[in-house]
Amino acid sequence: MPKAGPEATYGYMRVSDYQAIADNWEKYKGFTVRPLPSTQAYYGSVVDRFTSPTDQLMVYGGTPEIRTELVKASRQATLVDRAPAMIYAMGLLTAGEKLLHPTERIVVADWLNMPFDKPFAKAAFGDDAINMATWDKFPQFLEGAHRALESNGVYACHLLVAPESKYRKQNAADVIKEYEAGTILSLEDLASRINFTYYDDSNYQMGWQRSIAGLAALKEARTIRTDHGFTERFTNCNSVFACPPQADFESIVKTQFKIEEVFYPTEHDYSRFEPLYLLRKKPC
């Protein structure tokens, strides 16, 4: 198998080959950074309801759950990412386990500077992709999606939104105690609730590296006995997500898109902070 190269993933996953990236990414299955089964099924429903076999589609990044649905439906897909290594690695987690499927092509580009000079895609798909931009760049990100979509095209935009204030104001040690007492029912919900406590209200950002640093301080102070394996699981996950208040997101969306549907995953309590918007392109 070809090597990805140590810098090919721009530091997001600090590993050196496709299989290692895929193996690391598999640790995240069921957690916020991967689509849940209900979300994957919704992506499949968007493909079935809003596209036809001759349509061209676009995907932000290499999300394997999205690609699996597109491959199953035999749709032609353009995968856009600045790090092709991530796309190849995620291909190993798709149904069929191919670095790149015959129906896929890669365009190397930054999501804030999309290289398409005319519309080409009937539908676009992005799983938390917009969250990787800073909040002030959300309009620019959406403009790129608008420009790539054909008239009346749709964008399945899955994102993380700001958790409720009561969760942001908690201490992570207290959240862990809730889990150990059985109040928080799943490890997946615990992971999200921990991240919520390290949410930065000034820029709407949260992410695992910030949370891991906080957990390390709690362990050093002996405030917690264990971090329940999160440091080991997410040590290579350098993502920083901007998670705005939901109403603020909707206000900027409506300048370029109509909100067609809003879907909420069903698996966990935290899923209510992970809406999937189906956005319909407005005329220019």
131-165: per-residue pLDDT in tens? 999 999 999 999 999 999 999 999 999 999 999 99
Domain boundaries, the chain: 18-161+245-281, 165-237
Q: For residue 147, how many C-alpha atoms fall within 13 Å in the half-sphere facing its CB? A: 14
Token pair for 150: 């054909």
Q: Are 138 and 244 in contact (CB under 8 A)?
A: yes
pLDDT at res. 135: 98
pLDDT at res. 35: 96
Q: Are 64 and 94 in contact (CB under 8 A)?
A: yes
Intervals of the chain under pLDDT 70: 1-15
pLDDT at res. 40: 97
pLDDT at res. 7: 53
pLDDT at res. 6: 55
Q: Residues 1-10: pLDDT tens digits?
A: 666 665 555 4
pLDDT at res. 276: 98
Q: Residue 107: which of 83, 126, 123 has the closest Cα? A: 83
**Per residue in 47-61, is it b (16+ CB within 10 Å) or e — as a string?**
beebbeeebbbbbbb
Residue 202 zone, left/alpha/beta (φ > 0; ψ -120 to 50; rest): alpha
Indicate the pTM of the whole model.
0.94
Q: Is CATH 3.30.70.1450 the classification given to domain 18-161+245-281? A: no
pLDDT at res. 84: 93
